[in-house]
Structure 1
Amino acid sequence: MPFNVVDLPGTDRVQRSSHAPRVLIYSHDTFGLGHIRRCRAIANSLVASYPHISVIIVSGSSVISSFQFGDGVDYVRIPGVEKQTDGRYGPHHLNLDLNDTIRLRTDIIKQVVLSFDPDVVIVDKEPIGLRGELVPALDILRRRGARIVLGLRDVLDEPVKLHEEWRQCGALDALGQIYDDIFVYGLESIYQPLAGLPNPHLFEHKIRYTGYLKRAVPSPMPPTRFPRITKGPFILVTPGGGGDGAGVIDWVISAYEADPTIELPSLIVFGPFMSRERRKGFAERIARIPKLESLGFEPRLELLMNRAHCVVAMGGYNTFCEVLSFDKPALIVPRVKPRLEQAIRAERADQLKLIDVLHDPQESGEGPRDPLRMAAALHALPRRMPPSQAFVPNLLDGLPTIGRALADDLSLPVRDRPAAQSSLAKS
């Protein structure tokens, strides 16, 4: 099977050198797992292509330590900030107000930039960071001559909403003034996330569509005991991080409650951010249904995705990449609040016959969920054609394209940036 490859380099390490190129990846991580998983995939791919380099991920993810990283990759965790379902932010753990937390994050990011002195910086999604926390670091990086890249997922939000958000915070100016490159981790033929923004002549020449980021099975670790139903064909149900995934899980469980004849069993993975109360209630219902089992959190979800016959998911960027990478028939139930990102992606992918989409009427305010409607979709899902049969060219070229785009900066055995020689003495 062509998808059974590992995503980490082998045990042999190249000789360490303090003079080799360095990459810093910024991931603000305020909700779910999407940002850190995307950054991890890029970091592991870069050190696989350029084993002599060093990569540091600066992240606010509370679960970053659960993930595997390749040799040459490490991370600095900044204090976490939570994005609530209504779009507002607050500290995750600290007993500080938001302003003090952002100030602390800003200082840590700046110090990492001063000490690590990267040659390439990849900023995930937020051009100036959360609440502008990246601006001081970006100023230093510009003075030091680093190559600064903005990495964007295929869909951000509705153009009007994105324009207003970025205009208010100053991110629009950063596209033209700060960034050397803008990588869109998708295909132009599927969606153009920056279309409709004003003054496109200032940044459109910087945009490179890479294709989606292909995922692979993680390298071996001590054996993991998965539930018994994974020994045969099963449906994997994943709401991503789980913080906003209760609706799709409830709908799937209610379908099995209403229709015991659904052919394939399902494994439901709750995700690390689902509340304990929700998880307990779902677990009690699942225990009464022989065709359902559950897991709390699996950081190596790729292992389960690879085993599964088909997938039910909310349709975040990373899950979508995994569905494409492991070529799984998929039913996407996208959220529509607080952003339309998942719905836009799912509808476009449905048009291209990559996946099937089923909208949650309760989330959109159209009425209650019909268990039999989900049951019908679960009956049909195992017979759906896999995404590869849609024959979309260059669909999964993202990681090698990023590596080639950065080759001039990373392929040399020693750092080729003049500023790097004396930058540690400067602020």
Structure 2
Amino acid sequence: MADLVMDLSQDAGPLPAKPERSGGTRVLIYSHDTFGLGHLRRSRALANAIVEDRPDTSVVIISGSPIIGNFEFGSGVDYIRIPGVTKLPDGDYRSLNLNVNLDEAVGLRQALILQAAKAFKPDVFIVDKEPTGFRGEVVPALEYLKAAGCRLVLGIRDVMDEPALLVPEWERKGAKEALIRYYDEIWVYGLKDVYQPLKALNLPADVDKRITYTGYLRRDVPPTPSLTRYPKITKQPFILVTTGGGGDGDHLIDWVISAYEADAGLEQPALILFGPFIDRDKRGSFVERIAKQPKLDVMSFDNKIEWLMKKADAIVAMGGYNTFCEALSFDKRTLIVPRTKPRLEQYIRAVEAERLGLVRMLSDYEEPPTPERMADALRSLSAQPRPSEVTIPGLLDRVKERLKALTDPEASSAPAYRQAAE
């Protein structure tokens, strides 16, 4: 199946005649979901923002996430759940639920993605993160939709990985060639002043002109409150500790608990949110330790975490893209404790965000993770500036403007907010 990545000779089938169709603009989003919640939550935020701005638009998200049905979507947004794949500790992948090998699972996903493209007939196709999709599964749909006149967009987060790893990875996947061949626009969900994720690829000048730095994707609380019952601890100023999906957040949770265990003088309480993918055994151990600390409480998962974000006095998180956007959107004092393995993505984002004064960072990359270091950092949160105290033009997103430019014949084709190097 690896040969599929740039095998462009495959017949995606004849282009059907375009029948009359109802409704306004149609947007298809491919969410690259093989681990955690990050890609799904970003795609959901994008879809909800689109239909809020343009109520006649229909958006379909294609995702392999096993919990996509737990989230609330705006009117006009729906999803197609394709068979999931999951990342193993050794970096390899396997089928999540089906008893088939990985190649067969990818082949099924590829066929479903192509069929969705043919049936839905989108005006815009937004691909998340991977230009060819997981193991090339999006290439036949790209071929078909390009020939059909659909506008193709690659959407990537502000930081992908350190250049020494990103460049060979993209060469191996044929991603750079796909970027050049297929995509009308590349949306970087961030600011050029923070980071330029594709700079090391040395893209041709005409491709570089397709890049738009949209700013960070703005987040709002869902229209209906969470049905989750919040602990008593949330009735007073509290620190929210979140690790996103929870599959790789054990280190942060352990470090926070150890700080409260070691320092009885920590006054502000903290609510720890595990996430749905936390290891069951580690979860049990953490619950026992948390139960002994009067200033700590715990929740398993909240599919409307935005409400908790808004209630919290401050946030402690690993520094994934979505949490960073929420901290900016809700103007929260934030301590980032970035993951440094297997990628430096979170560390790079945290370093640059701290440089701009948007967050504070605490890392074990060069110093040991002692309870005292965490306790000092938690104690300092209340005196930390809020993101709104830093003036950075275009910080939050302009995606809606770009979508209008792609779908409105009378709109300017020039990017609305490029921050491009002159």
What amino acid sits opposite 2:197 in the alignment?
A: P
**Equivalents in 2 of 1:218, 1:232: separation in Å?**
22
Q: Which residue matches 2:57?
A: 53
> Shift in Å at residue 83 of structure 1?
1.8
Amino acid at match of 2:403: L
Query: Could you say what secondary structure the match of 1:203 adopts?
Result: helix
Structure-to-structure mapping, 1:2-401, within 5 angstroms: 18-221=22-225, 223-361=227-365, 367=368, 369-396=369-396, 398=397, 401=398
> What's the CA shift string for 1:18-66, capped at 9, x where partnerless?
2422100000201111101111011011111111111100001111111
What is the aligned partner in structure 1 of residue 412 from structure 2? none
Q: Determine helix, strand or coil for the equivalent of 1:406.
A: helix
Secondary structure at the residue paired with 2:22? Answer: coil
> Are the equivalent residues in 1 in contact too, given 2:333–2:359 (CA < 8 A)?
yes
**Any idea what SS the aligned residue of 2:229 has?**
coil
Mapped partners of 1:214, 1:105: distance in 2: 30
Confirm or deny: 8 A CA contact 1:26 1:59 kept in the other structure. Answer: yes
Give CA-to-partner distance per residue, 1:76-109, whole Å, 9 cap, x none: 0111111234432121111111111111110110
Q: Is the 8 A contact 2:228 2:302 kept in 1?
A: no
How far apart are 1:406 and its partner, in Å?
1.5
Native 8 Å contact 1:85 1:244 kept in 2: no
CA distance in structure 1 between the partners assigned to 2:93 and 2:207 by the alignment:
29
Deviation for aligned residue 1:372: 1.1
- State the shift of 1:160 in Å: 2.3
Q: TM-score, normalised by structure 1?
A: 0.89
CA distance in 1, matches of 2:90, 2:230: 35
Query: What root-mean-square deviation, in Å, do the aligned CA atoms of Structure 1 and Structure 2 show?
Result: 1.4
Instruction: Call closer, same or farther: CA 1:408–1:348 in 2, change over 3 Å.
Output: closer
Q: Matched residues in 2 for 1:373 and 1:198: separation? A: 40
Distance in 2, matches of 1:245 and 1:85, equals 14
Aligned to 2:402: 405
User: For residues 97 and 377 of structure 2, what CA distance do their matches in structure 1 show?
Assistant: 40
With over 3 angstroms needed to count, the CA separation of the structure-2 counterparts of 1:187 and 1:409, relative to structure 1, is closer
Residue 236 of structure 1 aligns to a residue whose secondary structure is: strand
CA shift at 1:155, angstroms? Answer: 0.3
* Deviation readout 1:291-336 (Å, 9 max, x if unpaired): 1000001111110010000010000000000011111111100001
SS across alignment from 1:380: helix
Q: Distance in 1 between matches of 2:90 and 2:362?
A: 23
User: How many Å separate the matches in 1 of 2:107 and 2:56?
Assistant: 34
How far apart, in 1, do the equivalents of 2:73 and 2:169 lie? 33
Q: Distance in 2 between matches of 1:81 and 1:202?
A: 35
Structure 2 CA distance, aligned partners of 1:202 and 1:410? 21
Shift of the 323–403 alpha-carbon distance from structure 1 to 2, 3 Å rule, reads same
Cα 1:395–1:409 shift into 2, 3 Å? closer
> What is the CA-CA distance between 1:225 and the residue it aligns to?
1.7
Give the match for residue 8 of structure 1.
none
C-alpha contact (below 8 Å) 1:21/1:409 kept by paired residues: no
Aligned-pair CA distance for 1:139: 0.6
Q: Which runs of 4+ in 1 moved over 6 A?
A: none
Say if 1:85 and 1:337, in contact at 8 Å, map to a contact too: no
Alpha-carbon separation, structure 2, partners of 1:411 and 1:73: 20
**Deviation, structure 1 residue 200:** 3.1
Describe the SS at the equivalent of 1:31: coil
Rounded Cα–Cα distance in structure 2 between residues aligned with 1:84 and 1:360? 24
Greater relative contact order (Cα 8 A, min sep 6): structure 1 or 2? 1
Correspondence for 2:419: none
Please give the alpha-carbon distance, in whole angstroms, between the structure 2 residues aligned to 1:184 and 1:222: 31
Is residue 50–residue 410 contact of structure 1 (8 Å, CA) maintained in 2? no
Contact 2:161/2:345 (8 A) holds in 1: yes
1:88 is matched by which residue type in structure 2?
D
- Which range moved further: 221-230 or 249-258? 221-230
CA contact (8 A) 2:225 2:307 kept: no
Same amino acid, percent of matched pairs: 55
Counterpart Cα distance in 2 of 1:261 and 1:19 = 60
CA distance in 2, matches of 1:410, 1:231: 46
**Cα distance in 1, alignment partners of residues 154 and 223 from structure 2:** 29
Structure 1: give runs of 5+ residues left out of the alignment.
1-16, 413-427
SS at match of 2:230: coil
Letter in 2 for 1:224: T
Q: Which residue is 1:419 aligned to? A: none
Does the 8 Å CA contact 2:320/2:346 hold for their aligned counterparts?
yes
- For 2:167 and 2:323, locate their aligned partners in 1 and report how far apart those are by CA, in whole Å: 26
Aligned length: 389
Give the Cα separation in 2 of the matches to 1:223 and 1:243: 24
Call closer, same or farther: CA 1:311–1:222 in 2, change over 3 Å.
closer
Structure 2: any 5+ residue segments left out of the alignment? 1-20, 410-422
Opposite residue 294 of structure 1, the aligned amino acid is V
Go from structure 1 to structure 2 and tell me whether the alpha carbon gap of 1:221 and 1:373 turns closer, same or farther (over 3 Å shift): closer
Q: Is the 8 A contact 1:85 1:338 kept in 2?
A: no
Superposed displacement of residue 198, structure 1: 3.0
